[in-house]
Amino acid sequence: MIDAYRNTSKKAGMPPGSLIHVADFNEEDTRISVIDYGLIDVEEPSVETVEDLLKFREKDSITWVCLEGLKNVEITELIGKYFDIHPLVLEDILNTHQRPKFEEYDDYLYIVLKGLSLGEEDVASSEFSVDYEQISILVFNDFVFTFKEWKDELFLPLIQRIRTSTGRIRSLGSDYLTYAILDSIVDQNFVLLDSMDERIDEIEAELLSDPTSNTLVSIQHLKRELINIRRSTSPQRELLSAILRSDHDLISEKTHIYFRDVFDHVLRISESVDSYRDMLAGLLDIYVSSVSNKMNEVMKILTVFASIFIPLTFIAGIYGMNFEYMPELRWKWSYPLLWVVFITLPVVLVTYFKKKKWL
C-alpha cells in the first residue's frame, strides 16, 4: 500500500473546494500554538479560537501559528475566511494526499510537502518503517501558518532557537522563518536515511553470513519503503527550485541563499535515495546468487554420495547374485580383495572429481 497517496478516491466526484478532511489515520484534535516575536520580544500567548489570532495582524512582529491535527475542519475554514485564502488551498490543506508543491497567490504563498519520520513502533524491532505527515505552510507578510497532521516535537528545536536566539532568526522576516521550517522538515530526512543505511548494512551482513528467505522479504520491504520515500522526496526538488525561481515580494533577495541551501540538502537526499536503490538491487543480486550457490553445495553432496556409493552398491549387488556358476564366490581372497576395491574406488573418484574442480 502506498500510504501517503492512496484513498483519495473517496473524494472522487465531489465538488472541488469541499472542505472534508481526507486522511487515513491519526485523527487528533487540533491544537493551536502561537509564537509571536520581533527583534526584542518573544511572546507565546495561549490561543483558544481563531478570532484570538486576529489581534496579531496589526502588530509588526512575526507571528507563527502552528496547528497540529486536522480533525477540526471549522478551524481551517475560519482561518480561510479571516485571511482570505482560496478554497482550493483550504481543500489541499485538509486533504492529506497532496503532491509537494509551491503556489504563489497575491498576498500569500502556499507550500505543501511531506514530513517523513521513522515509524515509532518499529524503532525497537529491526523492521524499518516510515511515517508520512502532510505539512502545509501558509506564508503571509508577517504571519506564518503551519498545518501538521499530528502533534509531535518536529518544530521544538526551532521554537527553542526563536526563544533564545537574538540573531538572524529574530531580525529577519517571515520568509526566513519559512526557510527555517522547511529546513527542519527536510533535515529530518537525513535521520531517516541514516537509519536506512544501517538497515542495509545489517541486511548485507546477514546476506553474507546466512541468507534466509526472510532476508529477501526484508530487501523487498526496504525497496517498497524506498519507492515511497522517493515519491515524497523527489517532488521536493521541484518545490524548492520553484521557490528559488519565484520573484514574489514575500521572498526577499537576502533569504534566497538560505533556500538554496535547503535545495542542496534536497538534492543530496534525492541522490542518496537513488544510491540506496542501486544498493538494494545489488543486494537482491547477491541474494539470488547465494541461493544458487547453496543449491550448488547441496547438489554436490548429493553427487558425491550418489556417484561413490552407487557403483559400489552395484559391485556388492553382483556378488549377491545366486548363480550356481560364479567361480569368484569360492575363491578365498575374493572378499578381502573386494574390500580393497570398496576403499580405493571412492578415493580414486574423489581425487578425480577434485582435479576436475567439480567438488
- Contacts of its own copies in 114-143 (CB under 8 A): none
Does residue 246 bind its own copies (CB under 8 A)? no
CA atoms within 13 A on the CB side of 304: 16
Gap between the Cα atoms of 285 and 279, Å rounded: 10
Q: How far is the CB of 166 from its own copies (least distance, A)?
A: 12
* Cell reading at 331: 575363491
**Sole window of 31-39, 64-72, 128-136, 256-264 interacting with its own copies (rule: CB under 8 A):** 256-264
Q: Which is nearer to its own copies, 69 or 100 (CB)?
A: 100
Strands 130-139 and 31-37: unpaired
Q: Which is nearer to its own copies, 92 or 206 (CB)?
A: 92
Question: Which one-letter DSSP state was computed for residue 327?
Answer: G
Residues 6+ apart with CB under 8 A from 252: 173, 175
Judged by CB under 8 A, the chain residues 65 through 94 that form the site for its own copies are 86-88, 92
Gap between the Cα atoms of 16 and 19, Å rounded: 9
Gap between the Cα atoms of 154 and 191, Å rounded: 12
Q: Contact at 8 Å (CB) between 308 and 350?
A: yes
Judged by CB under 8 A, the chain residues 259 through 278 that form the site for its own copies are 260-261, 264-265, 267-268, 271-272, 275, 278
Q: How far is the CB of 312 from its own copies (least distance, A)?
A: 5
Q: Which residue has the cell 527553542?
A: 160
Q: Which is nearer to its own copies, 47 or 161 (CB)?
A: 161
Q: How far is the CB of 130 from its own copies (least distance, A)?
A: 14
Sign, Cα dihedral of 243, 248, 249, 254 = positive
Q: Which is nearer to its own copies, 71 or 231 (CB)?
A: 231
**Sole window of 24-32, 50-58, 68-76, 217-225 interacting with its own copies (rule: CB under 8 A):** 217-225
Q: How far is the CB of 2 from its own copies (least distance, A)?
A: 6
Angle at 94 between CA 88 and CA 99, to 5 degrees: 75
Nearest C-alpha neighbor of 345 from the set 303, 300, 308, 304: 308
Judged by CB under 8 A, the chain residues 184 through 213 that form the site for its own copies are 184, 187-188, 190-191, 193-194, 197, 201, 208, 210, 213
Does residue 25 bind its own copies (CB under 8 A)? no
Q: How far is the CB of 51 from its own copies (least distance, A)?
A: 25
Which of 21, 31, 71, 231 is the binder for its own copies (CB under 8 A)? Answer: 231
Q: Contact at 8 Å (CB) between 86 and 115?
A: no
Nearest C-alpha neighbor of 142 from the set 186, 119, 108, 102: 108
Does residue 47 bind its own copies (CB under 8 A)? no
Does residue 8 bind its own copies (CB under 8 A)? yes
Q: Contact at 8 Å (CB) between 2 and 231?
A: yes
**Sole window of 26-34, 47-55, 75-83, 179-187 interacting with its own copies (rule: CB under 8 A):** 179-187
* Cell reading at 86: 482560496
Does residue 54 bind its own copies (CB under 8 A)? no
**Sole window of 52-60, 63-71, 129-137, 224-232 interacting with its own copies (rule: CB under 8 A):** 224-232
Judged by CB under 8 A, the chain residues 327 through 346 that form the site for its own copies are 328-332, 334-335, 338, 342
